[in-house]
Structure 1
Amino acid sequence: MLSTPRRSPTMVRRSSIWLLCVLAQVATAIYLPISQSCTPDKTAIRREWGEMAPAERKSYTDAVLCMTRKPPRLSTAEYPGVRSRFDDFVATHINNTLHVHYSGLFLPWHRRFTWLWERALREECGYTGYLPYWNWPLWTNDLKKSPLFDCSETSLSGDGEYNPDEQPISGGNMTIPRGSGGGCVRCGPFKDLQIHLGPFSRDLTSFTEIPSPKFEYNPRCFNRSLNNFVTSHYNNETIVSRLLASTDIVDFQTVMDHWPPRPDGVLGVHGGGHFSLGATMQDLFASPQDPAFMLHHCMIDRLWAMWQSRDEKNRRYALNGTTNILNPPWGQPVMLNTTMEFGVLDRPRKVREVMNPTGYGLCYTYT
């Protein structure tokens, strides 16, 4: 019988050192972002809509319209309201709404979602630019005069027709005045846009599963109602500065996302952007049907990225909340290894994969 050779103390020490090195490499691969390939010359730069040349803006809206003409990847038999590639994104948002809003997944999930949209525009519709953002404070007092909503061919279209039946919005201890439109959008690139999914109720407290109408086909015009009251109160420079001055992730989330509004009238910058554009954008589940959705969430991601970069040690991987809407006591806490779902848009992703805009295949920054 062969005997096992005895290992010298030196051999044992070398083996132990080798094992520790391997473990360190594994830990690095697991916990640190993969950013070596994201060099400055490869980094995409996302810009504010008004900074883009008119031709660049037109190129973006042309690509969005291209998405509305492309066939979906989701099954129409299973998702009757999904009639285009554009609708694939809307349905994916609906499918995940009860996990990625008012929860610990809000920021990381939407970072990946908007990046997937940008990638689809570039790879499937020939768009050569990157996702622009809507810098709310620049146009808080007059949305109609902004290059985003001035109804020109280089805008995201503008206000809807005046609808006398549009009502103010009540929530908490406050009422939000109605906007200036409320009807179908009849100008700009999206004047003929037809939306297919929703609308859904605003009563978030009663939802434990996706409510009716789920994914039913409900074709109708694209609706807007520009609301300067909302933007001037909830998306102004003072509140954006307050958001960036947040002391920790809990404080950051609090300024970002108040709904229902507090008695002192704080809605939150996230809700402010949604409620400033009317019924289509106010639909928590189906709001990506408004082409401004992606630019709004790009601005949210920009501010999160700015806030993270100001204190890398304490903020880059800061998380708070659960995987369920409104963070119920029974919800699972969000961790770096929590898995996020994206349906037909992407494979499942760990939260750690999106915590850095220059890691794990992401490679972008903002002006």
Structure 2
Amino acid sequence: MRSFALVLGLAMACTQQAAGLTPPADAAPYTACADITVRKEIRSLSSAEWKAYESAVQQSQKDKWVDWFGYIHNRLAVYAHGNSNFFTFHRKYTRDYENVLKKYDSSVVLPYWNAMVDFQSPSSSVVLGSEYLGGNGNSDTNCVTDGLASNWNLIYPENHCLKRQYSGSGSIPAWHSPEFITSVLQVSKTYADLRAGIENSIHGAVHLGLGGDMDTMYSPMDPVFWLHHANCDRLWAQWQAISPNDRTYMYDGTDSSGKTVSLDDTILASDVPVVSVMRLGYGDMCYTYDTIQAAKGNATALVKRQKCNKSPDQATQAVRNLPPEVLSTYYPSFASNKAINPLENEMPSIVPGQPMAADVKAAATFVPPKPNEKLRGKMPVPSTLTNKWITMMSGNVTEVREIEERACAMVDALNKAGYLSPYMVN
């Protein structure tokens, strides 16, 4: 088995003076990246980009990197979940994996999966089809037999095929909607707030929904893991970029031992401090996301606050038309009746539904399906996390149930207002 030191070697960070946003006085500065790549939503990749990514992943699996990352996650999971280590550990962890893939093909960039878009009927998403990541395991063994990881054989924690078992039964209940994640982005005032809101909602729902290996501590052995955690990282990055001067280096809450966290803390399984991953575009964090506008020489942050949307899209307008008491509770930014920073609004994130959309000339003008009027006021309540999952993730039951209660209450309020989600088309 290769030494994890090699992975760490791929994530070296410079300590030269950085231009731009000044880190806290006691934090080491990091130099700006010369080249910043853009992580895209999987459905917006071209066929060439997808094939390059697929090939690198297949090679990494043959070289047992998939098993190695599964081993590392399994050993550290109790420390990396249910506390403030969640975002920081997984940011470096996904970057380490991306750097491994780049050793096979330097053009490869880790994509993300915006699973919220598919919240109504996750199993029908093209992302879980044969063109991309494959679907449910077969009925006899739960082995995945189509898509990127078709017939994978893994050696950790013992020899086995890659397994999926949708929600343990063969079907996946609803996940958390773009409407709910938009609410989390708007109501979260601290890093700890955001971590709890994302980890205990869409993060856990996707893991449990796919089941099989994703419902274990060695879940990185399923290729869905990386795209899913890239999406969680994207949401953190967007939240940071909403107010970069305040949030880029905001790090609060406690670690797994209950100790108050600090930017000087060493990231799990590494020799680098937390501060080294806080700012995208600096040190080894040489990437951004397609939903974030990368700054070129901007002195305030890697990501600039995009121009406020003065002409809200139809989906956003539907939310803004909700009763004032609903807006003030779940969408304080919308309630202010001011121009909205696009980074705290997941509502316009509908992506083309066809695979390899970048190959289609008409993709730029693709019009998503119209919402089904018969489903007005019938938004489903998102699935809840099991006690077994919460225990495995070292989660706080009270914290988890409070997030779930808020999600249910939001759905109830929207349904009572006769709201029709633009994502409910089936």
- Tell me the TM-score range normalised by the shorter chain: 0.5 to 0.7
Match of 2:102 in 1: 122
Structure 1 residues 291 and 255, CA gap change in structure 2 (3 angstroms): same
The one-letter code sitting in structure 1 at the alignment partner of 2:209 is S
Match of 2:154 in 1: 195
Structure 1 residues 314 and 269, CA gap change in structure 2 (3 angstroms): same
Match of 2:165 in 1: 225
The answer on 1:277 being equivalent to 2:210 is: yes
Residues 249-300 of structure 1: CA deviation (Å, up to 9, x unaligned): 2321221123xxxxxxxxx1210121121121011x2010111001000000
Match of 1:57 in 2: 50
Matches within 5 A, 1:1-367: 31=27, 33-36=29-32, 38-39=33-34, 42-70=35-63, 84-123=64-103, 125-152=104-131, 155-162=132-139, 183-198=142-157, 218-226=158-166, 232-234=174-176, 236-245=177-186, 246-258=188-200, 268-283=201-216, 285-324=217-256, 328=257, 331-342=258-269, 347-367=270-290
Report the Cα distance in structure 1 between the residues aligned to 2:245 and 2:148, rounded to whole angstroms.
44
Unmatched tracts of structure 1, length 5 or more = 1-25, 71-83, 164-181, 199-217, 259-267
Contact 1:226 1:276 in 2 (8 A): yes
Contact 2:23 2:249 in 1 (8 A): no
Match of 1:12 in 2: none
Contact 2:143 2:151 in 1 (8 A): no
Report the Cα distance in structure 1 between the residues aligned to 2:24 and 2:193, rounded to whole angstroms.
29
The one-letter code sitting in structure 2 at the alignment partner of 1:136 is A
Residues 296-333 of structure 1: CA deviation (Å, up to 9, x unaligned): 00000000000011112332122233331xxx5xx322
Contact 2:175 2:202 in 1 (8 A): no
Structure having the higher strand fraction is 1
Report the Cα distance in structure 2 between the residues aligned to 1:220 and 1:295, rounded to whole angstroms.
22
Report the Cα distance in structure 2 between the residues aligned to 1:69 and 1:280, rounded to whole angstroms.
18
Deviation at 1:134, TM superposition (A): 0.5
Match of 2:380 in 1: none
Structure 1 residues 28 and 355, CA gap change in structure 2 (3 angstroms): closer
Provide the TM-score with structure 2 as the length reference: 0.58
Report the Cα distance in structure 1 between the residues aligned to 2:285 and 2:192, rounded to whole angstroms.
25
Contact 1:159 1:226 in 2 (8 A): yes
